[in-house]
């Protein structure tokens, strides 16, 4: 739109055209105000009924909330206006009228349930808080990309339509690919390994993953955004270094560049980047500390996976981000390498936020024979993964990597109660549209 001025840029003394949504009309009798909102903020448009053209007043005050209008007029300094300036209109054009009964209230005076908000996401995103979440999400991805670049990693894109899954076919969405069975990829895991073993060495990918698990919780999605890293000649410890750096710089960038958004979410006062270095707690120490909290009815023994309740107890005990390292080999996937001096212990690690798991990673099994053995032990046919395993015959360096759940990162950072808040159009057990 030509000659449009953002409301935030309207300076006293200028004649401007602003365009946006009607946030509210306040009619006080002889004087009335229309609050116009655009992506930069709001500005007040003043109507003095005795002194202005009747038709102009009628148009300006007759327009329904959330209609799109453009207003041309003089910007004046006015201490009584909310932003210190207001516009005296010469013309008001209704560009797109809105129905009077809205399915939710973007001004936030009346709450709406998440389900109602998601059904009407466009309107929902006109609200300050929802908008702020996605601006911060955007900053999160930007900051992560910068951090990866600092770590010498190249951004890659791998296929989302695949012939086989990462660990078998049970939790994959099946699709038909020109008459052949195919699946939506649950993880870029195998592909990024193949690329790490190429001349690119260090790679990252930010993209969708698809999981057909029928869970129904505030922290699971069936389509999520995975932030993946894989580095050749990296061990688990070096991979954790990169992970910590990425997570920390996301927080730092958000703190630095998203002040107003944090304000909108009422987080500005307490928001701070996590304490570093992130403690690295061995699995063995983790179960001991969980048992010591006394939160669990039954004591954990070596080899148990950590139940949700245990993760929370440990999270409360640690009080910040932390890694859990050196998991028992048997509860980590076969492609995670075991310690050379102890086959019972894997190099797998998780990065935990006090509320939930954020990352899982580890050093990979890069030795061909051991990899094939791993497939067989897992009950998988190595033949089906030949495209993957064969590359391990041609000089596959040791390598390690990890994946962050992008939505979980945003969710925990912003203290969102439901992961769906962090996705524009979430896909969950029941939601397929919008």
Annotated catalytic residue 219 = yes
The question of whether 213 is a catalytic residue gets the answer yes
Binding status of residue 122 toward RNA by CB under 7 A: no
Q: How far is the CB of 2 from RNA (least distance, A)?
A: 29
To RNA, the closest distance from the beta carbon of 239 in angstroms equals: 14
Phi-psi region of 62 (alpha: psi -120 to 50; beta: other; left: phi over 0): alpha
Q: Which stretch binds RNA (CB under 7 A): 114-122, 145-153, 321-329, 339-347?
A: 114-122
Closest CA to 226 of 373, 377, 402: 402
Cα–Cα distance between 81 and 46 in angstroms, integer?
9
Burial 84-121 (b: 16+ CB within 10 A, else e): ebbbbbeebebeeebeeebebbbbeeeebeeeebbbbb
Nearer to RNA by C-beta: 89 or 199? 89
> How many residues sit in the footprint of RNA (CB under 7 A)?
73
Residue of 339, 357, 429, 431 with catalytic role: 357
Closest to RNA by CB, 219 or 337:
219
> Between 177 and 302, whose beta carbon lies closer to RNA?
302
CB of residue 406 to RNA, shortest distance in Å = 8
**Out of 358, 396, 400, 413, the residue judged to bind RNA by CB under 7 A:** 358
Rule CB under 7 A: choose which of 15, 58, 77, 82 binds RNA.
Answer: 82
The answer to whether 399 contacts RNA (rule: CB under 7 A) is: no
The answer to whether residue 346 is catalytic is no
Q: Which of 5, 17, 193, 222 binds RNA (CB under 7 A)?
A: 222
Q: Does 428 bind RNA (CB under 7 A)?
A: yes
Interaction of residue 219 with RNA, rule CB under 7 A: yes
Can you tell me whether residue 73 is helix, strand or coil?
A: strand
Q: Judged by CB, which is closer to RNA: 27, or 256?
A: 27
Q: Residue from 92, 359, 371, 416 that binds RNA (CB under 7 A)? A: 359
Alpha-carbon distances of 189 from 42, 61, 238, 352, 400, rounded to whole Å: 45, 57, 18, 20, 11
* Candidate list 113, 270, 297, 383; residue touching RNA; CB under 7 A: 113
Site for RNA in 154-183 (CB under 7 A): none
Q: Tell me the Cα Rg of the chain.
A: 27
Task: List binders of RNA among 16-75 (CB under 7 A).
Answer: 24, 26-31, 33, 44, 46, 48-51, 64-65
Q: Collapsing DSSP states into helix, strand and coil, what is residue 378?
A: coil
Per CB under 7 A, contacts with RNA among 225-254 are 226
Query: Does residue 101 have an active-site annotation?
Result: no
Query: Site map for RNA, 300-339, x if CB under 7 A?
Result: -----x-xxx-x-------------------x--------
- Taking the C-alpha atoms of residue 373 and residue 252, their distance in angstroms, rounded to an integer, is 43
Torsion angle defined by CA atoms of residues 16, 17, 19 and 25, in that order, rounded to the nearest 10 degrees: 70
d(CA 293, CA 288): 9
**Segment interacting with RNA (CB under 7 A) among 107-115, 155-163, 233-241, 374-382:** 107-115
Omega before 434 within 30 of 0, i.e. cis = yes
427 has catalytic annotation: no
Are the C-beta atoms of 408 and 356 separated by less than 8 Å?
Answer: yes
Nearest CB to RNA, comparing residues 105 and 285: 105
Checking 366-375 for CB contacts under 8 A at 24+ apart, the result is: 366/197, 366/337, 366/392, 366/396, 366/397, 366/398, 366/399, 367/392, 368/392, 368/393, 368/396, 371/335, 374/334, 374/335, 375/334
**Interface map 260-299 toward RNA (x if CB under 7 A):** ----------------------------------------
User: Pairing relation of β-strands 202-210 and 154-155?
Assistant: parallel
Q: Which residues are catalytically annotated?
A: 211, 213, 219-220, 357, 360, 408
């Amino acid at each position: 739109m030509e000659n449009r001025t953002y409301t935030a840029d309207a300076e006293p003394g200028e004649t401007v055209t602003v365009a946006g949504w009607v946030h509210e009309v306040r009619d006080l009798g002889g004087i009335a105000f229309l609050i116009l909102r655009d992506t930069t903020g709001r500005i007040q448009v003043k109507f003095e009924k005795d002194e202005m053209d009747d038709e102009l007043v009628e148009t300006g005050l007759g327009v329904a909330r959330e209609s799109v209008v453009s207003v041309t007029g003089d910007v004046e300094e006015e201490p009584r206006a909310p932003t210190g300036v207001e516009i005296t209109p010469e013309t008001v054009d209704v560009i797109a009228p809105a129905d009077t009964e809205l399915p939710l209230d973007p001004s936030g005076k009346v709450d709406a349930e998440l389900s109602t908000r998601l059904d009407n996401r466009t309107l929902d995103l006109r609200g300050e808080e929802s908008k702020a979440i996605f601006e911060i999400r955007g900053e999160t991805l930007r900051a992560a990309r910068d951090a990866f670049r600092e770590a010498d990693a190249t951004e890659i894109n791998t296929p989302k339509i695949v012939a086989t899954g990462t660990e078998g076919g049970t939790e994959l969405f099946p699709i038909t690919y020109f008459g052949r069975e195919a699946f939506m990829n649950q993880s870029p895991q195998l592909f990024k390994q193949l690329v790490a073993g190429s001349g690119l060495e260090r790679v990252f990918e930010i993209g969708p993953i698809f999981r057909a698990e029928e869970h129904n919780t505030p922290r699971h999605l069936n389509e999520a955004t995975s932030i993946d890293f894989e580095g050749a000649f990296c061990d688990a410890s070096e991979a954790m270094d990169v992970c910590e750096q990425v997570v920390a710089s996301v927080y730092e960038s958000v703190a630095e560049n998203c002040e107003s958004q944090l304000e909108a979410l009422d987080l500005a006062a307490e928001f701070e980047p996590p304490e570093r270095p992130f403690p690295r707690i061995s699995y063995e120490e983790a179960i001991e500390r969980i048992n010591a909290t006394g939160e669990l009815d039954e004591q954990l023994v070596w080899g148990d996976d950590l139940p949700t309740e245990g993760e929370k107890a440990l999270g409360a005990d640690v009080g910040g981000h932390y890694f859990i390292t050196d998991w028992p080999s048997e509860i980590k996937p076969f492609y995670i390498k075991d310690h050379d001096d102890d086959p019972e212990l894997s190099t797998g690690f998780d990065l935990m936020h006090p509320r939930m798991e954020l990352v899982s990673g580890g050093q990979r099994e890069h030795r061909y024979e051991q990899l094939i053995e791993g497939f067989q032990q897992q009950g998988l046919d190595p033949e089906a993964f030949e495209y993957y395993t064969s590359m391990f015959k041609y000089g596959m360096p040791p390598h390690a990597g990890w994946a962050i759940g992008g939505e979980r990162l945003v969710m925990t950072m912003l203290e969102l109660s439901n992961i769906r808040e962090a996705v524009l159009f979430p896909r969950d057990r029941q939601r397929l549209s919008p």
